[in-house]
Every structure is written in C-alpha cells, then in structure tokens.
Structure 1
Amino acid sequence: MHWFESQLAQLDTLADDYLSAQRQPAADIVNVSEVTRLKRAAFIDAVQALVDKVVKIKGVSACAAYHDGLILAQSAEASNMDAFGAIIQETIRAAQHGETSLDLGEIEQIVIVGAVNKLAMLSVGPIILCISSPKGVNLASVLSQAK
C-alpha cells in the first residue's frame, strides 16, 4: 500500500470510530457527547492534515474536503471553494442516480477532466476529498510517490 492509500485507510478508520461514537447509547450523555466530540475532532484534524500534505505534492494545484457540499478542510492555494462545492454536490448527486441503475455499487471516485485542469473526487468516510491538478498530471502516480 502506498502513502496516499495508507492515509485514506487511516481516515476511513477515524471516520468509522466517529460514526460508531455517534451510535453509542445515551445512558451517560455527558461522556458519550465528549467521546463523540473527541472522535469528530480527531477525524477533522486528520482530514485537514491530509489536505495540507496533498497540496504540497508537485503537480497538485488545490485540495479540499467537503461534507454534503460544505467545506470541511481546504488548502490555502484553493481559490474557488464555493465552485468546488457546487460541482461536487451536483456530480455526486448525478453519480448516485446511476449507482443502482448501472450496478456500480457505492461511488468511490469521480474524475472530471477539462481542457486545462482536472478534478478528482474521492469518497472517504462521510466526506468527499477533492484534488485539483493540471490536466497532464497523473494523479495516481504523484500521490503514490508522495511521503
């Protein structure tokens, strides 16, 4: 497993921990709320850390993470976050319509390639991680070589 895959696996684990904490019985609401808050914070901190690392990779223009179209984490280099969010929301919605009818299963990734740039959208737990790069960059290659 290369660097980026291991980072995504860690995020998946943190997301599962957070979602499990949300499902705890509320017998001791104070402790359950605190555990949930800590798990959520750990997940969000890890998402921001990954976004910060990914944007430093040569060939990556911007990186951001969204939940239901709302920004959760972003790189300083990303200038049009609202446009990213809108594109992600609409693209994921359209893909989910084809999910069942095309027998694709749960959507894991979508890549939109334009004449100049491309945008990769990856499902990670409850978020969509977006990576923008120039069209000619092989994202799989640069992400697998990063450390």
Structure 2
Amino acid sequence: MSLAPPFTEKTARAKVKKAQDLWNGQNPKTIAQAYTPDSIWRNRSSFFVGTAAIEEFLAKKWEREKSYRLRKELFAFTGDKIAVQFWYEFQDAHDGMKWKRCYGLEDWTFAEDGKMRKRQMCGNDIEIDDVARWFRDGVDVNEVDISEAHW
C-alpha cells in the first residue's frame, strides 16, 4: 500500500500510525528521513526548516522528555494533507522528572513522494501524577481507552 498522496481514509490512518511508531522509536536521524530536505516546521513556538534542524530539535526534545510514549490518531485528511490529534507522556528531565502529558494537534502537508514537506504542531503540557498515566511500560498505546473528555 502506498502511503503517498492522494490519501484515502485507509492510507491516511496508516500514515498516522507509521509516524507514531517512528516517533516512539526516538531516533532523530531515522525520523528526519520521513521529511523533505526543505521541510517547514512549527513546533509550539519554534520555527525551523530542513532535516538537519529536525534532527537537532528531536535530539534536544528527548534529552528533556524521558520515558516518552506517544499516540497519534487521524483527525481529518484531504488529498495531500492530514490533521492529527495526539497525546504523549514523558518525565521532564528539566523539572525534577515530573510526569507530564502533552495534548495537541498537528497538520501535515506531503510531497508527491509521501515525505512530509510541512508540519505544524500546537500542544499543551499538563503535570500528571503516576497514577494518572495512560502509557505505562508494556501497554500498547493504541489500546488505551482515551475518553471523549480528552479528545
């Protein structure tokens, strides 16, 4: 199955889960290969361009965000665009290893070859305690029941 545009619901869902799996692998070099060399990114208040900048950003991200576990779900799609809702949990190495959860949305635009040429992310972190965690070791992030209150 081709994961290049134009997307169908089936290929858009597969593209989202492929991205989820890549990010959960936490390998900046591997992840950056999924983007065009001139990919445009906005991540919260950071703006940058290109795979070298993506690699650098992700390396710094995971220096801070330990025990990282992510889930992405398809929100909407068109021919070459996908919108994603996501949740991830991490321990913040810059804040006493407190557990946090990020809630967010991304919009993605793809090149003809299926690489992402633009990614815009908006997310908000909340502090959680250990008992509130969803994505514990050994739990399949795709099987966690996330109620409508969190969608």
**How high is the TM-score relative to the length of structure 2?**
0.30
| Larger strand proportion of the pair | 2
The structure showing larger relative contact order (alpha-carbon pairs under 8 Å, at least 6 residues apart) is 1
Structure with the higher helix share, 1 or 2: 1
TM-score if structure 1 supplies the norm length? 0.30
